[in-house]
Amino acid sequence: MNYGLLDFLNLVGSLGLFLFGMKLLSESLQKVAGDKMRSILASMTSNRFMGILTGFLVTTVVQSSSATTVMVVSFVNAGLLSLAQSIGVIMGANIGTTVTAWLISLLGFKFSIMLVAVPLIGLGFPMLFSSKHNVKFWGEAIIGFSLLFIGLDFLKGSVPRVDQNPEMFAFLSNYSNMGFGSILIFLGVGTLLTVVIQSSSATMALTLVMCNQGWISYEVAAAMVLGENIGTTITANIAALIGNVSAKRAARAHFFFNIIGVIWMLILFYPFTRTIANVLTNITGLSPYTNPNEIPFALSIFHSSFNIINTFVLVWFTPILIKIVTWLTPSKKDEDEEFRLVHINVGLMTTAELSLVQAHKEVATYAKRVHRMFGFVRQLFSETNDKEFDALYQRIEKYEGISDRIEVEIATYLNKVSTYELSDESSRKLQALFRAISEIESVSDSNFHLARTLKRKREQKVWFNQEIRDNLNKMFDLLDDAYSIMKQNLETSQRNASINLGPVYEIEKQINEYRALLKENHIKNIEANKYKYQAGVIYSDMFNEAEKMGDYMVNVSEAIAEIEKHSIN
């Protein structure tokens, strides 16, 4: 057998070049269309079929079903997509990933792409030096596309030929002539290869090359394609391992969707593959069973038809699939009271733009958590039972510690994002998010200050009359309105919509005017001895702290509005 270590390294290097080209192409296209992809995913999922179309379009653009499914898993957490909508997008992503196989079959095996690949690099290389980010990213995409097919061409030359290495074919023959057992074996091989390489497209390319060189038969290759469909679900499931319940459910829905498809296809495997072979024979006059050159085309038909049929059969069973993954992944009580990031605990995304999307959603979740903390403060204000008061105070104290750690974690994540090459808009968004988390942490501090003031009031056995209680409750109502506006602005800005600062300044004006009124009346009441001096001090501390909290919330909205303001200018 004339196949040594150098030949093997050539094979691995060729596969590496293909993978690098795929990675560069995918990431650069994500940079070009990052925000647009987010808008599409968020808006074009009104029903299951729109979700399928959306998943297909996004995956076709970014050339990576894994990138799409990981995005979908994270968007479910943010509430941008429901679990039902996410399943539709994932189904569409499975169809979109078949486009790569068609590109390889039509371009990689029908003529030498090397004739245009190197000139394409010559076209894309000068674009890398452009000061315009979009031009630069398109240059990267062109070079990635070229490297992908250069790697494929090298791969074809590096895979040992059957006629030159009959011993290797004999080795494979031991496992390819076992009837249905061979189908199951190579199903496992396809799954394992995809898990190891972390790219179903690369595994598909390797499978097509092996067929083209005569290593494996058409039916064995089809079994490997089914294995790749299982293996491609691993990426999203790994990402969801440390995610929340919604993330796990979306990832497992992807897994079960593909597993169910593979099961019914195994039952109909031989009739299905023969039907495709017969159709191809009628069209071209050549059969994939007898002509290895026709196998790549037959596999592309198999890959596409399987995913399309699987999608449009199982889409009707989406409610059942949701019930299964919900039952398998039950939610835990009070899980939000543990220190756990929701959106950025899976690491950086493949591009700065998508990483900032994750961070923005985490900031919005952070604001919701701090608002929940304020709800506990309001309960504390009206609590009369000592045991319940102590339990609530400990809960608020726990939230304060969690809030501090969340700020640090988000800031650390943003620091990592800052090491990317950022566009001007992304740089503005980064700075805005830094400012927002600082202000939200200040809101959390104000909550804790109010709780400590109430605890001091209880320890000193200070009594508030009904007028003070009514005044503070009215101030708290205004703060609740400010919280709602802040959260709404954080959510709205995720969808690239303009933020209306009118309500922000209106609620700030109401809080400031009410605080001024309370201060004025407080001085008069102290002079008139309407309540004890000690009660007046605590009362004054509380409405002054409440006014500060309102200012911090205004600052959050102003920080986020700066992104849109500069974009318009």
Count Cβ atoms within 10 A of the Cβ of residue 39 and give its class: 0-12 exposed, 13-18 middle, 19 or more buried.
middle
The pLDDT, as a whole number, for residue 34 is 54
C-alpha 15/C-alpha 392 separation (Å) is 58
Per-residue pLDDT at 86 exceeds 70 = yes
Selected residue with higher pLDDT from 17 and 347: 17
Per-residue pLDDT at 408 exceeds 80 = yes
C-alpha 101/C-alpha 296 separation (Å) is 8
C-alpha 257/C-alpha 354 separation (Å) is 26
Under 8 Å between Cβ of 484 and 504 = no
Q: What is the pLDDT of residues 327-380, one digit of tens each?
A: 887 765 444 444 456 666 545 555 677 778 778 888 988 999 999 999 999 999
Q: CB atoms < 10 A from the CB of 338, how many?
A: 9
Under 8 Å between Cβ of 17 and 9 = no
Average pLDDT over residues 532-561: 90
Written as six digits, the tokens of 186 are 């190579």
The pLDDT, as a whole number, for residue 6 is 79
- Which residues have CB under 8 Å from 326's CB, separation 6+? 83, 249
Written as six digits, the tokens of 204 are 């598909």
Q: What is the pLDDT of residues 95-145, one digit of tens each?
A: 877 776 676 666 655 555 567 777 888 888 888 888 777 788 888 878 887
Put residue 214 in one of left, alpha, beta given phi > 0 → left and psi -120 to 50 → alpha.
left
Identify the three-state secondary structure at position 249: helix
**Domain chopping of the chain, boundaries:** 5-328, 337-568
Average pLDDT over residues 156-181: 58
Under 8 Å between Cβ of 367 and 489 = no
The pLDDT, as a whole number, for residue 173 is 55
Under 8 Å between Cβ of 318 and 48 = yes
Under 8 Å between Cβ of 557 and 489 = yes
Residue found by looking up tokens 């593959």 in the block: 273
C-alpha 284/C-alpha 275 separation (Å) is 14
DSSP secondary structure code for residue 112 in this structure: -
* Confidence band, pLDDT 50/70/90 cuts, at residue 568: very low
C-alpha 350/C-alpha 18 separation (Å) is 18
C-alpha 436/C-alpha 86 separation (Å) is 29
The pLDDT, as a whole number, for residue 70 is 62
Under 8 Å between Cβ of 164 and 145 = no
The pLDDT, as a whole number, for residue 235 is 61
State the average pLDDT for the chain: 78
Going from the C-alpha of 500 to that of each of 251, 355, 486, 492, the distances in angstroms are 36, 25, 11, 10
Average pLDDT over residues 11-28: 73
**Whole-prediction pTM:** 0.54
Out of 96-100, 134-138, 154-158, 463-467, least confident range: 154-158
Average pLDDT over residues 413-430: 81
Q: How many residues does the chain have?
A: 569
Identify the three-state secondary structure at position 191: helix
Going from the C-alpha of 7 to that of each of 112, 149, 164, 208, 424, the distances in angstroms are 22, 19, 13, 19, 46
The three state secondary structure string of 23-67 is: HHHHHHHHHHHHHHHHHHHHHCCCCHHHHHHHHHHHHHHHCCHHH
DSSP secondary structure code for residue 104 in this structure: I
Under 8 Å between Cβ of 18 and 152 = yes
Q: How far apart are the first and last CA of the chain?
A: 67
Residue among 297, 6, 293, 14 nearest 153 (CA):
14
Under 8 Å between Cβ of 208 and 109 = yes
Q: What is the pLDDT of residues 246-267, one digit of tens each?
A: 667 877 888 888 899 899 999 9
Under 8 Å between Cβ of 281 and 372 = no
Per-residue pLDDT at 509 exceeds 90 = yes
Q: What is the pLDDT of residues 31-69, one digit of tens each?
A: 665 555 555 555 555 566 777 877 787 777 665 666 666
Selected residue with higher pLDDT from 59 and 198: 59
The pLDDT, as a whole number, for residue 162 is 44
Long-range pairs for 113-117 at CB < 8 Å and ≥24 separation? 113/149, 113/150, 113/152, 113/153, 114/149, 114/150, 114/153, 117/146, 117/147, 117/149, 117/150, 117/153
Selected residue with higher pLDDT from 495 and 491: 491
Under 8 Å between Cβ of 304 and 98 = yes
The pLDDT, as a whole number, for residue 186 is 85
Count Cβ atoms within 10 A of the Cβ of residue 188 and give its class: 0-12 exposed, 13-18 middle, 19 or more buried.
middle
Under 8 Å between Cβ of 236 and 66 = yes
Residue among 434, 283, 284 nearest 359 (CA):
434
Average pLDDT over residues 76-91: 69
- Which residues have CB under 8 Å from 399's CB, separation 6+? 337, 369, 370, 372, 373, 376, 444, 447
Q: What is the pLDDT of residues 269-312, one digit of tens each?
A: 989 989 988 888 888 788 888 887 788 788 888 888 888 898 88
Q: Does domain 337-568 have CATH number 1.10.150.120?
A: no
Per-residue pLDDT at 483 exceeds 90 = yes
Q: What is the pLDDT of residues 203-245, one digit of tens each?
A: 777 777 777 666 778 888 888 888 888 887 776 676 566 556 7
Residue among 128, 124, 134 nearest 31 (CA):
134
Residue 72 amino acid letter: V
Per-residue pLDDT at 439 exceeds 90 = yes
Under 8 Å between Cβ of 189 and 227 = yes
C-alpha 82/C-alpha 85 separation (Å) is 5
Selected residue with higher pLDDT from 160 and 479: 479
Per-residue pLDDT at 451 exceeds 90 = yes
